[in-house]
Chain A
């Protein structure tokens, strides 16, 4: 296993009066794609939001390259080269595709060679470059959301349920895009419910249940062990295939 880029140590998170995360420990190895699996309500989204500083960890630490994220604000975390793609995609629908990309590019105007690279995976964005992003289809919005993360080299990408509600053909495009990003050196942490999608992409896997980590290991091991799959992910697997 490679060195961890991101590390969670005993992270607890409360949302208002509710205790959501109970001592989360896991590592995201550098350069790999880590899948965070689990049922609805297991605390996956809360984990991502805690990493981004959108919920404050009430105990424990989130460490990224030696920096303690759990003591930083969301903008500071965003500036460390961590990109976040929320479940609702977080597209600015009043703005055009181009304007969305302009805001995502922190170091001046988006680089044209890099844009061309993105367009090879997401041609629709090129076509609708000057259109309001609110008019895009669901899949195109997901593409734009990922493209915002690709516009500049990132250290870490956090994605929440990218395949949700998308047609299989578009999911295939996503897989290509993630592979390209990984090749370019980005470490990726993806929250998923769709096990087939997860299987096709993941290097390592973390399974959560009831606000705790239930399993850590390689994706290959989990994919090979059907009994473990059933134990960890239950029947929800089938319904999401």
Chain B
């Protein structure tokens, strides 16, 4: 045994740096916006706080959609430009599956019944979207594994076709989709007002993020996903079917995007076939800020984009879309591979 002692027992490892700098970007962006609120006469600090929390709520919806896109890329190098279709479906399914629960949903007395109806409809939507996701993966994505350009072309085409099919099913008009009765209106504390529905999406989004983090860090499935993002071949050499893992993640990602779509439809009070493609623009920016394949990065980036869009929408509405692009450019200058680049083999 003497030779094995060569690796000295007192040898120590370099400390792993817990990189928290990106987290501070959120307050930084928020604090840049605060003086602008006063300067442009848009209101007081409480209005700013309202916009901040509403922006975080929107950010969490973006995160729900972005996380699936990011993991699908991380696992199999697949760029699914058609991911937005699951958002569109989420909104339409929200309308369709709320219909049977309408009396519960509209009951002004019981918040519990409202939420039950909401989650039953959203859950059904997620389930059906997951199935659609499996079909989409099989027909559209699988034939073009390994070729980014073909992937972008075919998945964009797939989104167009699926979006047109939505119009065939549900018609070209925007269908009304309202938040549950007891969550309409705002929660007012002093001068600070907060839309109840946004507060709920914020809570749900946070819970789902925590679940995802626990799943990725505490379960074998999660470890497998993280390991595969880094080195798919080695995971296969250990005897795991990464393709199966990928299909599972694809379906779950589609379901999460569907939930995001249901919520987003309720934000804008309607479902139409444009909301998925519109959401994709945010997703791209979020993914580039976050670093491809990073779930934690996606959360921070999504919140950044959410609040930046929200401030800009009030301060300079015509240029709102450029605000998140500006944030993206700043981040790329600072960290070209995104906030948390995933170490690829």
Which residues of A come within 8 Å of B, CB atoms?
Answer: 52, 54, 73-79, 83-84, 86, 88, 90, 92-95, 99, 102-104, 106, 120-124, 127-128, 131-132, 134-136, 139-140, 143, 148, 169-170, 172-173, 176
Contacts and interface: CB of A to CB of B under 8 A. Distances in A.
Contacts of A135: 13-14, 16
B3 interface: yes
B233 A74 contact: yes
Contacts of B16: 131-132, 135
Contacts of B1: 120
B223 interface: yes
Contacts of B343: 93-94, 134
B9 A95 contact: no
Given A123-B4, A132-B16, A172-B6, A90 B239 contact: no
Contact of A103 (B3, B6, B11, B224): B224
29 contacts: A52-B237, A54-B233, A74-B233, A75-B241, A75-B242, A76-B239, A77-B237, A78-B239, A78-B240, A86-B234, A90-B237, A92-B234, A95-B226, A103-B223, A103-B224, A103-B227, A103-B235, A120-B1, A120-B4, A123-B4, A124-B7, A127-B9, A128-B13, A135-B16, A139-B7, A140-B7, A173-B3, A173-B4, A173-B6
Contacts of B236: 54, 73-75, 78
B230 interface: yes
B3 A90 contact: no
B231 interface: yes
B189 interface: no
A186 to B, nearest CB: 16
A170 B7 contact: yes
Nearest to B241: A75
A54 B237 contact: yes
Interface residues of B, number: 31
Contacts of B239: 75-79, 106
Contacts of A121: 4
B39 interface: no
Nearest to B224: A103
B4 A92 contact: no
B238 A102 contact: no
Nearest to B231: A90
Nearest to A54: B233
Nearest to A169: B6
7 closest pairs, A vs B, by CB? Answer: A78-B239, A90-B234, A79-B239, A74-B236, A169-B6, A92-B227, A84-B237
B217 to A, nearest CB: 9
A136 B241 CA distance: 28
Contacts of A83: 237
Given A124-B11, A169-B3, 9 more contacts: A74-B233, A75-B241, A79-B239, A120-B1, A136-B13, A140-B7, A143-B7, A173-B6, A176-B4
A123 B7 contact: yes
A103 B238 contact: yes
Contacts of B7: 122-124, 139-140, 143, 170, 173
B138 to A, nearest CB: 18
Contacts of B231: 90, 92
Contacts of A103: 220, 223-224, 227, 235, 238, 240
A83 B234 CA distance: 10
B5 interface: yes
A99 B223 contact: yes
Contacts of B242: 75
Nearest to A121: B4
Nearest to A88: B345
A18 B49 CA distance: 62
Nearest to B227: A92
A92 B226 contact: yes
A54 B9 CA distance: 38
B230 A93 contact: yes
B6 to A, nearest CB: 4
